[in-house]
């Protein structure tokens, strides 16, 4: 239609196709023949698209690989059938190591840095990035499954990890403590509460800001080293409105106050059940239950679109009720699995060492895992003018604060911890 419009506005008159056929768009017959050729080509293109989609779906149902670049952990066998893969054992060992360490509570960024330090290449021979590892360990391919448009089929290639391990890993990675810190310039975590701490400043409407607080290290004086701070940014890195910009607080006193509260909470008896001896067996049972629920949900979706008159067809109301029931059950299983996975970190404390001693000796990733076990989020409220030194000289936290550069002008009552039930 754009070409036809040009004939009315310019000296353009003729279209020639790659097969040599020419159409004079200034004549009625040429105009008609050109439109007919376009419609025929469009129809043929649509038929080709349908045939291609049908072929891809059929090959996916048979478990064949969809093609493209070589996936990490696998390769195309020499002389093998098209669409099949074989395991590359050296790369499969790396995948199993990543899965095991992520399940044990380690963080994504240190693992990525270690892979690059060890000069472990990707499938394309390049460097690892958090998104590369995330895509690898969340791909159903490594559990021996071919995925197509959200539906999973048994694959023709062998699995590298078990389906139970895969489901447990997805729960661990879905935890908000393990989300990639995308869009920020801080790629290595050095803040205990990133992703967990929120702004509690009230707006003009009386509602709390609720924006995530991000690292905002700055120099107070030119000769000083940058000090770690949590900050509510008014504008995010993409130029979009993010928060109110009213809260800007030193990180060390906030983290010390939250850490002390968490350590105190762990000294109670309510958390003992999280490290029950049968936890690993229960994790396997929960992972199997989650897999069965997923199959039930897929079956319900298929029954929803059966032909009218089919006794197995689900009406809209029936389908929505079944879908809600299954999703509620899956959410309950995932919450329990998440708590058990995080609870395993407690079992890693060496015999004879208290939780406080382990906390001081552990790395940031282990502390964040422990923290996420009991804390939903931390709300930081704005302070008010005045001098209140914390902790006091006679406080048991004084020596720890002194080692971090304290005491500080800080009011711990402005830190609100919301606990998991």
Q: What is the pLDDT of residue 178?
A: 43
Please tell me the predicted confidence (pLDDT) of residue 222: 55
pLDDT single digits (tens) 130-181? 889 999 999 999 999 998 877 888 999 999 999 988 988 888 776 544 444 4
- Max Cα–Cα distance, the chain, nearest Å: 99
> pLDDT tens digit string along 340-353?
766 667 666 666 66
pLDDT of residue 342: 65
Task: Output the pLDDT for position 352.
Answer: 63
Distance CA 352, CA 134 (A): 36
Work out the average pLDDT over 403-419: 91
pLDDT (0 to 100) of residue 418:
92
Alpha-carbon gap, residue 234 to 398, rounded angstroms:
34
Looking at residue 276, what is its pLDDT? 55
The mean pLDDT of 384-400, rounded to a whole number, is 85
* For residues 234-262, average pLDDT: 86
> In terms of Cα–Cα distance, which of 259, 263, 256, 264 is closest to 390?
256
Could you tell me which of 114, 128, 123, 160 has the C-alpha nearest to residue 141?
160
Report the pLDDT value the prediction gives residue 224, as an integer from 0 to 100. 63
Q: Is 380 exposed, middle or buried (0-12, 13-18, 19+ CB in 10 A)?
A: buried
pLDDT (tens digit, 9 = 90+) per residue, 21-51?
Answer: 999 988 989 989 999 989 888 888 888 888 8
Region 328-339 average pLDDT = 80
Taking only the tens place, the pLDDT of each residue in 207-217 is 899 999 988 76
In terms of pLDDT, which residue wins out, 340 or 323? 323
Instruction: Return all residues near 21 (Cβ < 8 A) that are at least 6 apart.
Output: 37
Q: Identify the pLDDT of residue 335.
A: 76
Per-residue pLDDT reduced to its tens digit, 180-196: 443 343 334 578 998 88
Q: Would the pLDDT of 312 be above 70?
A: yes
Determine the pLDDT at residue 268.
56
Task: Report the chain's terminal Cα–Cα distance, integer Å.
Answer: 63
What is the pLDDT at residue 274?
52
* Beta-carbon count within 10 A of 201 CB: 18
β-partners of residue 174 are none
Task: Tell whether the model's pLDDT for residue 270 goes beyond 80.
Answer: no
| Residue 338 confidence (pLDDT) above 60 | yes
The helix-helix angle for 364-374 and 316-347 (nearest 10°) equals 130
pLDDT reported for residue 183: 38
| Total residues belonging to the chain | 421
- Is 389 a residue whose pLDDT tops 80? yes
Structure tokens at 306: 């059966």
* Percent of the chain clearing pLDDT 70 (strictly above): 86
Kindly tell me if the per-residue pLDDT of 415 is higher than 50. yes
Q: How far apart are CA 356 and CA 396, in angstroms?
A: 13
Neighbours of 128 (CB within 10 A): 21
Least confident of 127-131, 381-385, 389-393: 381-385
What is the model's pLDDT at position 188?
A: 47
Q: Is 98's pLDDT higher than 90?
A: yes
CB 196, CB 211: distance < 8 Å: no
pLDDT of residue 227: 83
Q: Stretch 379-399: mean pLDDT, rounded?
A: 86
- Mean pLDDT value across the chain: 83
């Amino acid at each position: 239609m754009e070409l036809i419009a040009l004939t009315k506005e310019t000296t353009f008159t003729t279209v020639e196709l790659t097969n040599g056929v020419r159409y004079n768009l200034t004549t009625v017959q040429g105009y008609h023949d050109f439109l007919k050729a376009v419609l025929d080509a469009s129809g043929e293109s649509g038929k080709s698209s349908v045939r291609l989609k049908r072929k891809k779906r059929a090959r996916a149902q048979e478990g064949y690989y969809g093609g493209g670049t070589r996936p990490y952990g696998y390769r195309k066998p020499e002389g093998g059938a098209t669409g099949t893969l074989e395991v590359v054992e050296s790369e499969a060992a790396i995948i199993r190591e990543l899965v095991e360490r992520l399940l044990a509570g380690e963080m994504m960024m240190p693992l990525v840095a270690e892979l690059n330090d060890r000069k472990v290449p990707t499938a394309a021979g390049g460097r690892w990035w958090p998104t590369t590892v995330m895509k690898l360990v969340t791909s159903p391919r490594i559990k021996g499954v071919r995925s197509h448009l959200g539906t999973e089929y048994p694959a023709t290639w062998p699995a590298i990890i078990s389906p139970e391990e895969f489901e447990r890993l997805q729960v661990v990675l879905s935890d908000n403590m393990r989300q990639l810190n995308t869009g920020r310039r801080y790629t290595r975590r050095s803040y205990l509460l990133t992703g967990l701490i929120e702004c509690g400043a009230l707006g003009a409407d009386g509602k709390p800001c609720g924006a995530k607080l991000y690292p905002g290290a700055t120099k107070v004086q030119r000769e000083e080293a940058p000090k770690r701070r949590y900050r509510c940014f008014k504008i995010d890195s993409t130029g979009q409105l993010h928060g109110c910009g009213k809260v800007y607080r030193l990180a060390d006193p906030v983290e010390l106050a939250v850490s002390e509260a968490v350590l105190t909470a762990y000294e109670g008896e309510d958390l003992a059940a999280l490290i029950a001896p049968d936890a690993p067996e229960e994790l396997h049972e929960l992972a199997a239950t989650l897999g069965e629920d997923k199959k039930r949900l897929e079956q319900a979706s298929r029954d929803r679109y059966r032909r009218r008159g089919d006794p197995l067809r689900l009406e809209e109301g029936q389908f929505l009720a079944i879908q809600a029931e299954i999703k509620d059950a899956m959410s309950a299983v995932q919450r329990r699995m998440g708590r058990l996975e995080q609870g395993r970190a407690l079992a890693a404390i060496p015999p004879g060492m208290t939780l406080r001693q382990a906390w001081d000796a552990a790395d940031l990733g282990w502390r964040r895992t422990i923290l996420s076990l009991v804390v939903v989020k931390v709300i930081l409220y704005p302070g008010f003018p005045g001098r209140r030194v914390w902790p006091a000289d006679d406080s048991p936290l004084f020596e720890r604060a002194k080692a971090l550069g304290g005491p500080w002008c800080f009011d711990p009552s402005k830190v609100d911890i919301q606990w998991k039930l």
